Amino acid sequence: MFEFLPIAPPDSILGLSDEFTSDPRTNKINLTVGVYKDEQGRTPILATVKKAEEILLRTESSKSYMPIEGHPAYLKAVVDLVFGKSIDPARVAASQTPGGTGALRVGADTVSRHFPGARIWLSNPTWANHGSIFQAAGLDTQVYSYLTVDKTALDFSAMVGELKSQGRRGDLVCLHACCHNPTGIDPTFEQWREISDLLAEKQMVPFIDFAYQGFGDGLVADAIPLSTLLERNQEAIVCNSFSKNFGLYSERVGTVMLVSRDAKSTEAALSQIRQAIRCNYSNPPRHGAATVATVLTDPALRAEWNGEVDGMRNRISQMRAMFIAGMKATNASRDFSFLSAQKGMFSYSGLNSMQADWLKKERGIYIVGTGRINVAGMAMSTMPTLCAAIAECIQATS
């Protein structure tokens, strides 16, 4: 059977990371992958996670199965973290999933079982995995414009214009609540209000990917687009991930949340999510969710975690500001100050694939061919090398 299989193409970003690992140069810099790094280039385990794990080690008494929808205390804490007081929790059917990816897939599967071939609108560009996840679930993916031609800002009129003219009642619209991946370019609060009005008017359903809560403007501020969307729209699918803001990448902790009009619809929605999960992975892994629940429900640990998230966000902002200033100091022919309006780990640098190739070949600096850079991969110690190399690259390739 398997001898007839063709070789599937490798994941482009992970492929670059493999190349980076086998690159023998000692001054190489990796700005490709989607994980947070500290100044030393490590992806640390948060202190609050270690403390929660110590508590669990002492107190956990069973590794029996969890309910299909996951850890009850975790679910309650997540709904509170994501929605705050903006809606009645009785309207949210929440289920723990293996990471944000699992949340997107379970959400899409749940819709697709009852509305096969439903359409979902994705921004162009969007996170590379969105299209594959939604198509694998049987949804029909459509794209809406997101960026201006020079790829440095949001083309809001094109975005809403296309959704308005081509969107249909019952279509889903995938939106990044904050820290748009791969561009770092988010709508303003006023624009969120317009998006919310448009979806309500067209009766389209927001499918919100919330993978970076706390990495934009803060844990509470980053949730404002959600409450704005829910002011006018009675239904939504919200997917969160604790990979980034808890550093729990490999523990696979996320949540899918179906927001319905009323408690009766919530009950039906949860029963459908359960069915989608049961025939997939049956029930979720316990450890990561138990860790998150322990931190979020203990006031002291929660306050400490807030500080840890602030620390990661502030380091990213500092790196972004240092990079902009560093590029200015090189007198490069390109101005990078547009990056200051971007949020989160990723930025669209405006560099093209030829320049990405030049940087890799000539200087051992790895960025994605689209020009996406992981700002969290930058460090104070390597900033001068990075800026000088990019300035040289721009000169050599223009």
Ligand X SMILES: Cc1ncc(COP(=O)(O)O)c(C=O)c1O
Can you give the binding site for ligand X, defined by CB under 6 A? 34, 99-101, 127, 176, 181, 209, 211, 241, 243, 249, 254
Strand boundaries in the chain, DSSP class E: 29-30, 92-97, 119-124, 140-145, 172-176, 205-210, 236-241, 254-259, 346-348, 365-366, 372-374
Considering beta carbons, is residue 12 or 381 the nearer one to ligand X?
A: 12
Considering beta carbons, is residue 254 or 285 the nearer one to ligand X?
A: 254
How many other CB atoms are there within 10 angstroms of residue 106's CB atom? 29
Catalytic residue among 37, 151, 244, 343: 244
β-strands 372-374, 346-348: how paired? antiparallel
SS3 category, 125:
coil
Residues 6+ apart with CB under 8 A from 228: 189, 192, 193, 196
The number of angstroms, rounded, from the C-alpha of 369 to the middle of its chain's C-alpha atoms is 19
CB of residue 217 vs ligand X: minimum separation in angstroms?
Answer: 17
3-state secondary structure 236-280: EEEEEECCCCCCCHHHCCEEEEEECCCHHHHHHHHHHHHHHHHCC
235-248 residues labelled b (16+ CB within 10 A) or e (exposed):
bbbbbbbbbbbbbb
Q: Give dist(CA 95, CA 107) in Å, integer.
A: 10
CB of residue 176 vs ligand X: minimum separation in angstroms?
Answer: 6
Q: Which residue shows structure tokens 């990075």? A: 386
Q: Give dist(CA 109, CA 215) in Å, integer.
A: 28
CB of residue 100 vs ligand X: minimum separation in angstroms?
Answer: 3
Q: Catalytic annotation on 51?
A: no
Catalytic residue among 109, 186, 209, 222: 209
CB of residue 220 vs ligand X: minimum separation in angstroms?
Answer: 20
Catalytic residue among 37, 51, 109, 127: 127
Considering beta carbons, is residue 99 or 107 the nearer one to ligand X?
A: 99
Strand boundaries in 189-253, DSSP class E: 205-210, 236-241
CB of residue 179 vs ligand X: minimum separation in angstroms?
Answer: 8
CB of residue 332 vs ligand X: minimum separation in angstroms?
Answer: 29
Q: Catalytic annotation on 127?
A: yes
Catalytic residues: 127, 209, 244
